[in-house]
Amino acid sequence: MINFKAIFTAQLASVLNGQLSEEAITDLIETPKKPAHGDLAFPCFTLAKAFRKSPASIAEETACQIQGPYIEKAEAAGPYINIFYSKEAASAVIMEKILIEEKEYGQLNDGADKTAVLDFSSPNIAKPFSMGHLRSTVIGNALGNLAEKCGYKAVRINHLGDWGTQFGKLITAYKKWGSPDKVKENPIKELLSLYIRFHEEAEANPALEDEARSWFKELENGNKEAGILWNWFREESLKEFQRVYDMLGIHFDSYNGEAFYNDKMESVIEELIAKELLTESDGADVVQLPDEDLPPCLIKKSDGATLYATRDLAAAFYRKAAYQFDHSLYIVGQEQSIHFRQVKSVIKKMGYEWADNMTHVPFGLYLKDGKKMSTRKGRVILLEEVLDEAVLLAKNNIEAKSPGLENKNEVAEAVGIGAILFHDLKNDRMNNIEFSLEDMLTFEGETGPYLQYTNARAYSLLRKADDLPSAKNGLSDSYSWEITKLLYQYPEKIRQSYMQFSPSVLAKYLIDVAQAFNKYYGQVRILENDAGIKARLALVKAVTIILSDGMQTLGMKVPQKM
C-alpha cells in the first residue's frame, strides 16, 4: 500500500534541506479535522528559530515547492502547509488494495512469531454468569482477536474462580439447606440461592463462618465428600458458562483456574525464601515493596493459607514456561490494579525481567442504580437473561419491519447479541457503565445494529447492481473521498486498538465509516448506470470488507441481509 504520509514527509524533508529529520517531520504531520483544510497538514512553528522567519512566511515559501505523486496541490494556510491529494488517483490505489486483499487488509505483522496470553472472563464457579462478567469477557475476546490481527498467536485463558473460602460456605449451606433434586434441576440458580442464604443466616449466627472455614480446610486436606461436592459444583458451572460463551461466540484455550495452581505455589514460595525476599509481618509471610511505593504483598497468612497473589505468581511462572509469552494481559477490573502491580513487582524483585511484559488491562464496572453488582447481596442481573431479551427484541423488530426476511432467528441472534457487545466495546474501557437494557438495545444511533444495518445496506446495493465492482478508475467526489480516507486508516486503527488495549478505538472508527457511507448513500445515486458505476461499486464493496472484518474482530456476527 502506498504510504501517503511518507510521500508528504519525503517532499518536506527535501525542501527543508535537513532542518528536520524525516522522523520528526512525520511526528508533526496532522490530519485536519475539516476536509476544506486538506488531507494532511504540517505546522511550521518548530522551523521559526532555524529560518529566523515567522511560521506563516515559512509555510508560504515552502508550500509552492511541494509536489509529488498523488499530490494535487499544496497551499499555505497561516502557519500550516496543507496538502490535497488527487482524489481519483489515490482512491483507485486504496480501493484496489482493499478489494484484492479483502480480509487480509488490516492484517499486520507486528506480532509475527510472538505470543500474547490473555487472562479474561474468569467467573466464579457455583455462581451465575452475571452482567458483572460481561466487560472482562467481551473486552478480552476483542483484544484476543486484535492480537491475532496484529500477527500474534493469542492464547485465551479462563482463570476460573474455582477455589477459596466461598466453597466452604457453599458446602456448609448445601449440607444444611440444600436439596440434591433442586440442584440437579437448576444447579446455578439453586447454588446462588444457597450462597445468598448463607450470608443472610451468618449475620445472625456468626458460628456459620467458623463451620465454613472448617469445611474449606477439609476440602484443602482432600476430604472425599468435600471434593465430590466441589467437583459437582465446578462441572455444573462450566456447562452453564459454556452455554453463554456459545451465545457470545467466545472460546478459550485453557480453563485452568485457581485450583490448578494448588501444587505449583510451593516452588514459588521456596524461591522467595532462597532469595531472602520473604519476611514476617504480624505472623504473615510477605514481600516488602517500599521502593515501588506499594503495600507489602501477602504470600501466606498467619494460618499458612495462601492468597490470590500466591496463585497469580504461580500462574505467571507457569504461563511463561508453557507459552513463552511476549505479552501477558490480565483483563480484570480496575479495583485490582494494586494487586497486579504487587505481583509484577515481586517477579521483578525475583530477578525476572519478563515481568515488564505483564500488563493489567483494567476497566470500569457495570453499575445497577449507581452501585456495584454483588452476588452476595443478590444484586445481580443474569447475562443469559439479558442476551435472551435482546434477541427477542430483535426478533420482534424483524417481524414488524421485515417479516419475509430469510433466517430470521439467526439474524435476530446476531443483532440482539451484537447490540450488547457493541454497547460495551464502544465505551472507553475505564468508564463505568450504568446498566440499562433500554440503552443497550437502541437500534438507532451509535449502536451495533446501526453498523450491521449499514453493512447489510451496502451488501444489498451489490446484489442489485448489474455491474461488478472495479477499482481501475478512482472517484473524485468529496463524499466518496471522505469514506476512502477512512478505509485507508483501517490497518492503523487495528494497530492502535491493540497497542492501547482499547477495542473502543476500533468501535468508534467503524461508526465513523458507517456514518460516512450513509452520508454518501444519501447524496449519490450509486447504481446510476454511467461511467462511474464500477468505481462506486468498488467503494461499496470496500465498505463491506472493512465493516464486516471490523465487526468480526470485535466479536460480532455480520448478517448480509436485514
Categorize the per-residue pLDDT at 369 as very low, low, confident or very high, splitting at 50, 70 and 90: confident
**435: which residues sit within 8 A by CB, 6+ positions away?**
131, 366, 367, 368, 373, 381
Is the model's pLDDT at 375 over the cut of 80? no
Q: Which of 140, 175, 169 is nearest to 375 (CA)?
A: 169
Is the model's pLDDT at 368 over the cut of 80? no
Give the pLDDT confidence of 140-162 residue by residue, as tens digits.
999 999 999 999 999 999 999 99
In a domain, 409, yes or no: yes
Average pLDDT over residues 421-433: 93
- H/E stretch holding 126: none
Amino acid 126: pLDDT: 85
Chain centroid to CA 208: how far? 41
Percent of the chain's residues with pLDDT above 90:
80
Is the model's pLDDT at 445 over the cut of 90? no
Same domain, 63 and 182: no
Same domain, 394 and 434: yes
Helices (H) and strands (E) in the chain, counts: 22, 13
**Three-state secondary structure along 271-326?**
HHHHCCCEEEECCEEEECCHHHCCCCEEEECCCCCECHHHHHHHHHHHHHHHHCCC
Same domain, 363 and 409: no
Same domain, 136 and 237: yes
Query: Among positive and negative, which fits the CA dihedral 196, 199, 205, 211?
Result: positive
Same domain, 531 and 426: yes
Categorize the per-residue pLDDT at 137 as very low, low, confident or very high, splitting at 50, 70 and 90: very high
Is the model's pLDDT at 69 over the cut of 90? no
Give yes or no for a contact between 48 and 54, defined as CB atoms under 8 angstroms apart.
Answer: yes
Average pLDDT over residues 68-81: 93
- Please count the CA atoms within 13 angstroms of the CA of 147 that sit on its side-chain side: 23
Amino acid 376: pLDDT: 54
Assigned C-alpha cell, 353: 525481567
Average pLDDT over residues 319-346: 97
The CATH number of the domain holding residue 536 is 1.10.730.10
Measured CA angle at 160 (ends 323, 162), to 5 deg: 125
Give yes or no for a contact between 417 and 448, defined as CB atoms under 8 angstroms apart.
Answer: no
Of residues 196 and 442, which shows the higher confidence score? Answer: 196
Determine the Cα–Cα distance for residues 58 and 62; give it in Å rounded to an integer.
Answer: 6
Region of 209 (left: φ > 0; alpha: ψ -120 to 50; beta: rest) is alpha
Determine the Cα–Cα distance for residues 393 and 43; give it in Å rounded to an integer.
Answer: 51
Q: Which of 195, 189, 161, 162 is nearest to 176 (CA)?
A: 195
In a domain, 338, yes or no: yes
In a domain, 327, yes or no: yes
Chain centroid to CA 47: how far? 40
In a domain, 46, yes or no: yes
Amino acid 265: pLDDT: 95
Owning domain of residue 189: 115-249+318-372
Amino acid 201: pLDDT: 94
Amino acid 516: pLDDT: 96
Give the pLDDT confidence of 390-409 residue by residue, as tens digits.
999 999 989 988 899 999 99
Of the residues 349, 372, 395, the one at which a domain ends: 372
Same domain, 54 and 162: no
Same domain, 78 and 169: no
Assigned C-alpha cell, 549: 472484518
Helix, strand or coil, per DSSP, at residue 159: coil
Give the pLDDT confidence of 83-109 residue by residue, as tens digits.
999 999 999 999 999 999 999 999 999
In a domain, 428, yes or no: yes
Categorize the per-residue pLDDT at 373 as very low, low, confident or very high, splitting at 50, 70 and 90: low
Amino acid 371: pLDDT: 78
Helix, strand or coil, per DSSP, at residue 473: coil
Give yes or no for a contact between 558 and 493, defined as CB atoms under 8 angstroms apart.
Answer: no
**9: which residues sit within 8 A by CB, 6+ positions away?**
22, 25, 26, 29
Determine the Cα–Cα distance for residues 131 and 364; give it in Å rounded to an integer.
Answer: 13
Is the model's pLDDT at 379 over the cut of 70? no
The CATH number of the domain holding residue 243 is 3.40.50.620
Amino acid 360: pLDDT: 98
In a domain, 232, yes or no: yes
Is the model's pLDDT at 340 over the cut of 60? yes
Same domain, 406 and 338: no
Give yes or no for a contact between 188 and 380, defined as CB atoms under 8 angstroms apart.
Answer: no
- H/E stretch holding 247: helix 224-248
Query: Among positive and negative, which fits the CA dihedral 184, 190, 192, 197?
Result: negative
Is the model's pLDDT at 125 over the cut of 80? yes
Give yes or no for a contact between 49 and 99, defined as CB atoms under 8 angstroms apart.
Answer: no
> Could you tell me the CA-to-CA distances from 215 to 204, 207, 290, 320, 504 in Å, in that order?
20, 13, 37, 34, 44
Same domain, 324 and 467: no
In a domain, 293, yes or no: no
Domains contained in the chain, number: 3
Is the model's pLDDT at 441 over the cut of 80? no
Same domain, 42 and 181: no
Of residues 320 and 1, which shows the higher confidence score? Answer: 320
Determine the Cα–Cα distance for residues 311 and 328; give it in Å rounded to an integer.
Answer: 16
Q: Which of 537, 527, 547 is nearest to 486 (CA)?
A: 547
In a domain, 561, yes or no: no
Of residues 345 and 440, which shows the higher confidence score? Answer: 345
Give yes or no for a contact between 550 and 516, defined as CB atoms under 8 angstroms apart.
Answer: no
Determine the Cα–Cα distance for residues 391 and 417; give it in Å rounded to an integer.
Answer: 7
Assigned C-alpha cell, 148: 491475532
- By DSSP bridging, strand 80-85 and strand 71-77 are antiparallel
Helix, strand or coil, per DSSP, at residue 331: strand
One-letter amino acid for residue 501 of the chain: F
Same domain, 156 and 187: yes
DSSP summary character for residue 251: -
Same domain, 11 and 40: yes
Helix, strand or coil, per DSSP, at residue 1: coil
pLDDT mean across residues, the chain: 93
Chain centroid to CA 66: how far? 41
Give the pLDDT confidence of 188-247 residue by residue, as tens digits.
889 989 999 999 999 999 999 999 999 998 998 899 999 999 999 999 889 889 999 999
Give yes or no for a contact between 55 and 43, defined as CB atoms under 8 angstroms apart.
Answer: yes
Q: b/e for 284-316, b at 16 or more Cβ within 10 A?
A: bbbbebeeeebebbbbbeeeeebbbbbbbbbbb
